[in-house]
Structure formats: structure tokens, C-alpha cells
Amino acid sequence: MSIYLVAAYVVFWGLTFLLVISIWARQRRLEQQIAALQSRLEENEA
Amino acid sequence: MGFVRKVWAIVAKDVAAELHTREMISAMLVFSVLALFIFSFALDLRGAMARAAAPGVLWATVAFAGTLGLSRSLAREQQTGCIDGLLLAPLDRSAIFFGKAIGNLIFMAVVEIVLLPLFSALFDTPLLQSGVLIVVALGTVGYAAVGTLLAAIAVNTRAREVMLPVLLLPLAIPALIAAVQATGGLVDGATWAEVGGWVRLLVVYDMVIVAVSMLTFGYVVEE
Amino acid sequence: MRKPGQDRLGIVLVGLSGVAVCVALGMVFFYAPREAAMGEVQRIFYFHVASAWVGFFAFFITFLAGIGYLARGERRWDILALSSVEIGLTFITMTVITGALWAKPAWGTYWTWEPRLTISAVQLLIYVAYGMLRAAIDSPERKARFAAVYGIVAFVTVPLSWFAIRWWRTIHPDILTSGGGMATTPKMTQTLMVSLAAFTLLYVTLLRQRIRLERAADALARLRLRADRIGK
């Protein structure tokens, strides 16, 4: 199996996963921050 | 004030301002000559190689010198705050665009008028023929148009002038390729018909880019 | 804002994309024939062209989003534009890298000014310029407006660049790449079509996720504003 073929598919999968994980990680962090802020605001209004 | 009058007023103001100091044109000229030297040394341009490289070096120099002039022209506008005073009606935005673009075109043309004979001599290439002059005019028109639009954007960013080459050069690629190919062909003795395809591409590029630049310029200067 | 567990459409899209990409992958390796001239390495071709397509299509969406933003002035158009750019940038990077990995065994050099590779590199440069432009502006309104303008003008030059580069290469063929053709069979065309469809589906899935991410960021910003007002 050609090394170039392997490398190319590593690139496809690698970049796709990097993008997916990047979006997922940022989404999680945002959701945590939103939840934290929301609960603090609710506390404050109570 | 009619549309043409407004455009003319803007052009006249810019040209007058530049005539007063001549700092922008002299910077562009000095830069161009320096670029010429750098290219010659870096690529070791002599004899046949010089002649072959001449169209490319010419257009690369024009492109880079052009970014100097475009940045300067729009930065000056920002400093003096003239544009704000001119923004009274939607029609004024197109007038401002044409006024600034024609002004920039004139500045680039002045530099080219000096460069072409200089290049002809140094590279021993017949650049001073009507076909080449037409190609230079066509290429400069498109470049000045999109350059004016992008300079107006660049000047309003944190990076300011540095942003312009980054924004402009990828968009100038079709014109650059066509201009270099057409110039090269003509200089090698091709007939007008033979480089016709490239000239047509340049014309299409100019029409499209002037139209799009004019239509979107208003959105850049509105505040 | 809905919790992730309730994002049915998202889950469906992810599932479909996953299946589609696996089907395409299967076809690439088991259905498509071994190409006569290049051998196994030629199998890079399918995903390479598919990612090139997505790179271009994503840019087209950004172009449309730019027009939408200038026409309507609504934040959602800007969100679409920047999301599409991020996805498109990833895919065009894929295209350029895999193109180089294809070029080396095919023509002996990692880079050649072959039309598709060149236009992909040009689009990559434009994407990067777009990103730099956005990064260099602080005001969100101006950022959206300027990015929209640049997206529109830049996209318009891409077809022109394509023609220019093609003609340039026709007149001055690269001795290396001219003559290097591919013997295409119907099975290869089918594999390519399936790859294109799979990648398009993947693009839509990723685009949607990125849009949701940006909306979440906006929601957080709004919450912060509320918190500031209360003085917390």
C-alpha cells in the first residue's frame, strides 16, 4: 500500500476529526459557561 | 451637482493634493525602481532571461507599487475626513467610488508612464507598443477599481495598510495572469488576434470587478 | 436554548453523513477499479476532488450569505458566512495537502501548477485573507459588513482565476503534468459521484454544528450583558 495513499487518508480523517472535535469542545465550554451564568442570574433574581 | 461633476471634483481634489506634496508618487516610483533592481539581482536577469522575465517583473512591480499608492490614498482620506462630508445621498457613494478609483488610476498611470520606457531600456524589450499600452491600461483599470474598494476596507482594520496586499493580491490573480501573458505575447511579436483571448479575459475581469466594487463600495463607507 | 440531547436533526445528519462517508470509502477501495497508470495511489483522487468541491461550494455559500447580510443586515447571515468559511477552509486545506500527496507519486514533485491544485491554493489564500480580515476588526457590525463585501468580491474572481489558470496551463503546459491522464471507467465516475454526495452531506452537518456553536456564543454574550446590567 502506497505511503502517499495512507498519508492522504490520514489527512482526510485527521482534519475532519480536528474540526469536529474543535467545534464540539468549544460547544461544551460555551454550554458550561452559559449554564453557570444562568444559575447565577437565577440565584440573584431569587 | 451632477454625478460627473461630483466624480470630477473628487478626482481634482486628490490630484491637486498629490501635486502639492508629490510624496505618494515619488514613493511609488522609487519603490518601483528598487523593485526592478531587486528582481534583476535576485533572478540574475541578463540577456534572453531578462527579456523573458520582463512582462512578469513589470506587472509584479506595478502590483506592489500599486498597493503602496492605494493604501496611501485611502489613508489620507481617513485622516482628512473628507469622505464623511461627501456622504449625503446614495448616488454620492458611487461618485465617491469612481472619484477615488479614477484618482488612483491616474496615480498608477503616472508611475507606469515612467516605468515603461525604463523597463524597455533595461530589459531590452519592446514595451512601448500600442498593444502593450492597451493591456497595461486594462490591467490597471481593474486593479485600481478593486484596489480602491479593498483599500477602503483595509484602512479601517487594526492592521491598516498591511491588510491591503493580503486582501488584494489573490483577487488580482486573473488580471495578473492575463496581463502578463498578453504583454509577453505582444513583446515576443504575437499579433493582436493571438493575444485576443487574454485581452478579452482582462475586459471581462474589468467589467465584473468594476461593477461589483461600485455596488459594494457604499456598504464599506456607510457609517 | 435546547439541550444537546434533543437535537434530533443533528443526530440524524451525523448518522447520515457517517453512513454516506463509509459507503463512499467502501466504494473507493472495493468498488472502484485499480487504475491502469497510477495504481493504488489513484484512490486519493475521489476524496481529493470531493473536498475540492466542498471547498468551492462553501465559498459560494459565504458569497450568498454576504449578499444576504448586506441586503438584510441580520446577524444570522453573518453567522452562516463565517461558519461556511471555517468548514470550507478545512476542506480546501485537505484538498491542497492531498493534492500534493497525489502529485508526488504521479509526477515526482509535491507541487505543480496544475489547474485544480492551483485554483485550490488560490481559494485557500482567499479564505485565509477573509479570516485575517475578520480578525482585524473589533466592531461586530463592521466585521460582518466588511467580511460580506470581501466574500462577494473575492468569490466573483474565483471563476475568472479558474479560466485564466486553465488557459495559462494550456498554452504553457507543465511538461510534467501534461500527458498524465486517467483512464476513467463508469465505476470510477459512480464512486466519484457518491464521494461528492457524501462530502456535501458532511459539509451540511458540520455547517449546522458550527452555526449552533456561534448562536451559543451569541447567547452567552447576551447573558453576560444581562449580568453586567444587574451589576454582578
Computed over every residue of chain A, the mean pLDDT equals 90
Give the tens place of pLDDT for each residue, C157-170: 999 999 999 999 88
- All cell numbers assigned to C168: 495559462
DSSP C110: S
Is the CB of A30 inside 8 Å of chain C's CB atoms? yes
DSSP B160: G
- Give all chains having 3 or more CB-to-CB distances under 8 Å with chain C: A, B
Mapping DSSP onto H, E and C, the string for C3-46 reads: CHHHCHHHHHHHHHHHHHHHHHHHHHHHHCCCECCCEHHHHHHH
Instruction: Quote the pLDDT of residue B101.
Output: 95
pLDDT beneath 50: ranges in chain B:
none
Instruction: Quote the pLDDT of residue C5.
Output: 56
Q: Is B82 exposed, middle or buried (0-12, 13-18, 19+ CB in 10 A)?
A: middle
Q: Which chain B positions have a beta carbon within 8 Å of C149's beta carbon? A: 149, 153, 216, 219-220
Give the tens place of pLDDT for each residue, B4-43: 888 998 899 889 988 888 888 999 999 999 999 999 899 8
Confidence band, pLDDT 50/70/90 cuts, at residue A40:
confident
Predicted structure pTM score: 0.92
Instruction: Quote the pLDDT of residue C1.
Output: 47
How far apart, in Å, are the Cα atoms of C47 and each of B39, B148, C25, C70, C95?
A: 40, 39, 9, 34, 8
Instruction: Quote the pLDDT of residue B132.
Output: 93
Distance CA C152, CA B156 (A): 18
Q: Do B174 and C163 touch (CB under 8 A)?
A: yes
Q: How large is the average pLDDT for residues A22-46? A: 89
Q: Which chain C positions have a beta carbon within 8 Å of B208's beta carbon? A: 156, 160
ipTM confidence score: 0.92
DSSP C184: -
Distance CA C199, CA C204 (A): 9
* Ranges of each domain in chain B: 3-221
* Ranges of each domain in chain C: 42-173
At position B119, the amino acid (one-letter code) is F
pLDDT beneath 50: ranges in chain C:
1, 179
Least CB-CB distance to B173: which of C70, C156, C161?
Answer: C161
Report whether B135 contacts B186 (CB < 8 A).
yes
Distance CA C115, CA C166 (A): 6
Nearest residue in A to C212, CA atom? A27
